[in-house]
Amino acid sequence: MPPLRIGVLGSGSGSNMQSVLDAIGAGTLNAELRLVLSDVPDAGILDRARRNGVPCAWLDCSPFKTKLDGEAEQRCIATLRKYEVDTVVLAGFMRIVKPALLDAFPQRVLNIHPALLPAFPGLHAWKQALDYGVKITGCTVHFVDAGTDTGPIIVQRSVPVLDGDTPESLHARIQVQEHQAYPEALRLLSEGRLSLEGRRVVTRP
């Protein structure tokens, strides 16, 4: 199989993007990180991309505040195509992506969510889990569909919620698992081992 040609969209520190880069560097993921785009001009993810020599840019998403739509969405698709991206990795991208992007990369847009979906979709999932009082939470890598955090699940990893956890301590524990889960899901995709049966993702050995 040819390497995945990955484009990352992110808004935050970029630790998940880093885990993908590290897996590529370690030879455990057959992929190239072609491009990083962020809707936040001073996001850490752009600094990390620059430090690692990965092409990157700020994606001005105005006038929208919570979604990637309209002219910005078209610019995003055009830029991803220019860099010959075939797999779009949402890594802490704090905007809803719309059908035009999904249609441009069918079954090739992935997201990571910091909870065991379908529990606690949406924002601050680790805080939702803590406030609810669950004893186990985790992270989910899934294909993106038109809903919010509703797409077919590829990989999940669990973490315990401990007495005395704060939102920060719990999120940090979840992120350790995220940094395993995203490279693992991308590895399965790169090896052509994922197929969709209904909304179930079946992994071939």
Which of 4, 7, 8, 15 is the binder for ligand GRF (CB under 6 A)? 15
By CB under 6 A, tell whether 149 contacts ligand GRF.
no
Distance of alpha carbon 26 from alpha carbon 19, whole angstroms? 10
Within 53-72, which residues bind ligand GRF (CB under 6 A)? Answer: none
Kindly tell me which of 91 and 154 has the beta carbon lying closer to ligand GRF. Answer: 91
Q: How far is the CB of 65 from ligand GRF (least distance, A)?
A: 17
- Residue 137 touches ligand GRF, criterion: CB under 6 A: no
Strands (DSSP E) along the chain, which ranges? 4-10, 31-38, 56-58, 67-68, 87-90, 96-97, 109-113, 136-143, 153-160, 194-197, 200-203
Cα-to-chain-centroid distance, residue 122:
14
* 142 counts as catalytic: no
For the chain, give percent helix, strand, coil, nearest 5.
Answer: 35, 25, 40
Q: Which residue is nearest to ligand GRF (CB)?
A: 92
For the bound state, the minimum distance from the C-beta of residue 184 to ligand GRF, rounded and expressed in Å, comes to 14
Q: Write each residue from 90 to 119 as x if it is in contact with ligand GRF (CB under 6 A), else as -, in one continuous string.
A: -xx-------------------xxx-----
Strand 56-58 relative to strand 31-38: parallel, antiparallel, unpaired? Answer: parallel
Closest contact distance (angstroms) between CB of 125 and ligand GRF is 8
Interface stretch with ligand GRF, choices 13-21, 33-41, 47-55, 195-203 (CB under 6 A): 13-21
Q: Which is nearer to ligand GRF, 24 or 112 (CB)?
A: 112
**CB of residue 76 vs ligand GRF: minimum separation in angstroms?**
18
Give the separation between CA 36 and CA 38, rounded to whole angstroms. Answer: 7
DSSP state of 60: -
Q: Which amino acid is at 13?
A: S
First to last CA, the chain: 16
Would you give the DSSP letter of residue 120?
A: S
Query: Which residues of this protein are in contact with ligand GRF, per CB under 6 A?
Result: 10, 12-16, 45, 91-92, 112-114, 175, 178
Where in the sequence numbering do the catalytic residues fall? Answer: 113
